[in-house]
Amino acid sequence: LNALIWCDHADPALLQPFEEANGVKVNVKEFEGTGAGMAIVEQSQPGDWDVMVIDSIDIPRGVEKGLFEP
């Protein structure tokens, strides 16, 4: 499971139990600021990221750019 997460929001105390309970490894890449996160997604291939932690106000912009599925 590949997760793109705001810096300092990837809490190992949450990730480890999730991984153990679901039998998956969470690969975390942290970003600082919405612009940086959106740039990472724009430069990635479809399917590279399974989950992205982003402010809800920025979701419509990502949908308009074709980066997120509504």
Identify the pLDDT of residue 12.
86
- Give the residue extent of every domain in the chain: 2-64
The per-residue pLDDT for 9 is 84
pLDDT one-digit tens code per residue, 16-66: 999 999 999 999 999 999 899 999 999 999 889 999 998 899 999 999 998
Q: Is the pLDDT of residue 10 over 90?
A: no
DSSP-based three-state secondary structure for 10 = coil
Residues facing 29 on adjacent strands: 4
pTM: 0.82
pLDDT of residue 70: 65
Question: Which residues neighbour 9 within 8 Å (Cβ) at sequence distance 6 or greater?
Answer: 30, 53
